[in-house]
Amino acid sequence: MAYLDAASAVPLHPVARQALQASLDEGWADPARLYREGRRARMLLDAAREAAAEAVGCRADELVFTPSGTRAVHSGVAGALAGRRRAGSHLIVSAVEHSSVLHAAEVHEAGGGSVARVAVDRTGAVDPAAYAAALRGDTALACLQSANHEVGTEQPVAEVAEACRAAGVPLLVDAAQSLGWGKVPGDWSLLAASAHKWGGPSGVGLLVVRKGVRFAPQGPGDERESGRAPGFENLPAIVAAAASLRAVRAEAVAEAARLRELTERIRARVAALVPDVEVVGDPVRRLPGTVTFSCLYVDGETLLHELDRAGFSVSSGSSCTSSTLMPSHVLKAMGVLSEGNVRVSLPPGTPAEDVERFLEVLPGTVAAVREKLGAPAAAQAAPESGDDLVVDAIGRRCPIPVIELAKVIGDVPVGGTVRVLSDDEAARLDIPAWCEMRGQEYRGEEPADQGTAYLVRRTR
């Protein structure tokens, strides 16, 4: 079985396993106590904090360990907003942030605060000028991920941090996806990350609050972790997290170069081997091991199951893999195809043979799924005449509305229109994306008796 979903979680690093086992024997006592066992535990905790701080590029007394990366984000957002409530209650986030950031923004908004959501381009990157334009006199905090968790696009953190610093606004960086590869550039103010993203144990996050940043921890007070992460520290896991972060950093330069070559191979060959595919994300400014692509006329859930049966563990941002049947907010913000979406994220140490075998299996797997769904094999010739057509896809989920559109587009003359009726939210994203890929004209949408009518004009 080839595990290719490192963006979700990286297998436990051997150094993390060794450190975890050793600290279970040495670090079980309360590090707040003064007796011998407590002092030993305190030494382990302090050493782990120093190692993590060195990897982040901050002072040890600026970093605390949290029960998860999500808790680090929530605590960081809430504490920074509370600490700057006199400045205002305006929060800035990007449209492609991790759900932990967006959920924190929703809570802030529900409590009476205001939130600006900065759009991204088709590669998933924000424009630093857009962040600068969103800054206001009452902005309390801005948030920006260092790299996107679904498509791997790296964000211009340093440029956004510079704009925020000039405006006197702290910037919180979600560095969960990138911290294992290197320090986050720029003059940021707060940072959150999660150990299971770099090969540490799950259940350990870290939160950094730079000196001078106004910060008011929320919730009941606690004397541990500077009052920013209440509860007894999971010391063995913390020690393992810090040890693995140091270990992966020592290997990062060489491994990043190797994984970039493998993902370049996937990006190039998927586009050549699989018809009607869109490779998404920035082709250059991206994480070393992540590549994402979407396949027309494919049910994402079925595709993932078939790849799993073939021995590959991959993930997807497709609406077809979600119980809510809603497209990924990342793909939606980018305006790219969501159906048949596959994210391949290579863990450190992935053999090149696994990538080659994946590329051998993928074309046949996609073709088999398309055949089951009755997808069109090729475009039809334009008729001499004909009427506009209506495709009724009400009650049918992705990718059926797009498949039905592709089947009938050849039945209308050039200049003719197809109206696709659909109540699937994914159609709002995938029909325009299909038009762009196929060179057809998307004319917009209009209300229908049921669902929405999407208008497509045949141009060739």
Distance CA 152, CA 167 (A): 29
List Cα–Cα distances, 263 to 107, 155, 290, 359, in angstroms: 37, 19, 7, 11
| Cis-peptide, bond into residue 399, ω within 30° of zero | yes
Distance CA 278, CA 121 (A): 15
320 is catalytic: yes
Our measurement of the distance from residue 133's CA atom to the centroid of its chain's CA atoms, rounded to an integer in Å, reads 24
**Residue 114, SS3?**
strand
List Cα–Cα distances, 371 to 302, 303, 375, in angstroms: 12, 12, 6
**Residue 453, SS3?**
strand
CB 420 within 8 A of CB 454: yes
Q: Which residues contact 228 (CB under 8 A, 6 or more apart)?
A: 64, 66, 75, 79, 207, 209, 215, 217
Distance CA 256, CA 243 (A): 19
Strand partners, 442: 456
Distance CA 104, CA 207 (A): 15
| Cis-peptide, bond into residue 236, ω within 30° of zero | no
**Residue 270, SS3?**
helix
Catalytic residue from among 143, 164, 320, 435: 320
Residue 363 CB: number of other CB atoms within 10 A?
Answer: 16
Distance CA 46, CA 224 (A): 13
Token pair in block for residue 30: 């309360």
Residue at token pair 């979406």? 341
List Cα–Cα distances, 171 to 95, 131, 232, 415, 437, in angstroms: 16, 11, 29, 50, 37
Q: Which residues contact 381 (CB under 8 A, 6 or more apart)?
A: 410
Buried-state track 120-134, b at ≥16 Cβ within 10 A, e below 16:
beebbbbebebbbeb
29: left (phi over 0), alpha (psi -120 to 50) or beta: beta
Active site residues: 320
